[in-house]
């Protein structure tokens, strides 16, 4: 089990708070995610995300936080990065990855460990300057940290407010 102290989080928080362009858009997203897209573990969850502005000096990555809370009383909280490319005036696509903590429901260990990695491909429809509708297809896995590594896929739809 990995233990993180308050001092080890300080450099990470500093990167988030001072990184990026001062005029860059931050995003807050809320939506629904359906887990078990490719298997029989069907569980819905609420998804919440916060992304800071792009950091030009680090390949225009957008750092942020992602969280899920499922109807099975499980949750995931992670921190990671997103890279996006424009397709046209109102569309963009990207890839993202988060490392985080997963807490399974009582008596169940669905994903094999508390340390999990969530990777995904995303498609954004820029509805307006202040709103983005995002479709994601992702996979969560413990990357071999646990004795078992079943993983799960999800399909999510979120609305992201840009400010």
DSSP 124-157: EEEEETTEEEEEEEEEEE-TTSSS----EEEEEE
Domain boundaries, the chain: 6-162
pLDDT tens sequence for the chain (163 residues): 444 444 455 555 555 554 555 557 999 999 999 988 887 667 899 999 999 999 999 999 999 999 999 988 889 999 999 999 999 999 999 999 999 999 987 545 678 789 999 999 999 999 999 999 999 999 999 998 888 888 889 999 999 999 9
Tokens of 61: 């990555």
Distance CA 25, CA 126 (A): 13
Q: Does domain 6-162 have CATH number 3.40.50.300?
A: no
């Amino acid at each position: 089990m990995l233990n993180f102290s308050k001092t080890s989080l300080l450099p990470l928080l500093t990167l988030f708070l001072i990184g990026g362009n001062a005029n860059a858009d931050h995003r807050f997203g809320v939506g629904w995610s359906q887990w078990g897209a490719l298997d029989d573990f069907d569980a819905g969850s609420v998804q919440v995300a916060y992304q800071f502005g792009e950091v030009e000096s680090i390949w225009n990555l957008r750092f942020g936080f992602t969280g899920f809370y499922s109807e099975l009383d499980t949750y995931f909280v992670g921190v990671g990065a997103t890279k996006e490319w424009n397709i046209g005036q109102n569309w963009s696509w990207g890839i993202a990855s988060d490392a985080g903590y997963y807490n399974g429901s009582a008596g169940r260990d669905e994903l094999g460990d508390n340390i999990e990695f969530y990777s995904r491909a995303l498609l954004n429809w820029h509805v307006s300057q202040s709103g983005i509708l995002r479709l994601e297809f992702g996979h969560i896995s413990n990357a071999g940290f646990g004795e078992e590594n079943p993983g799960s896929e999800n399909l999510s739809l979120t609305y992201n407010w840009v400010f």
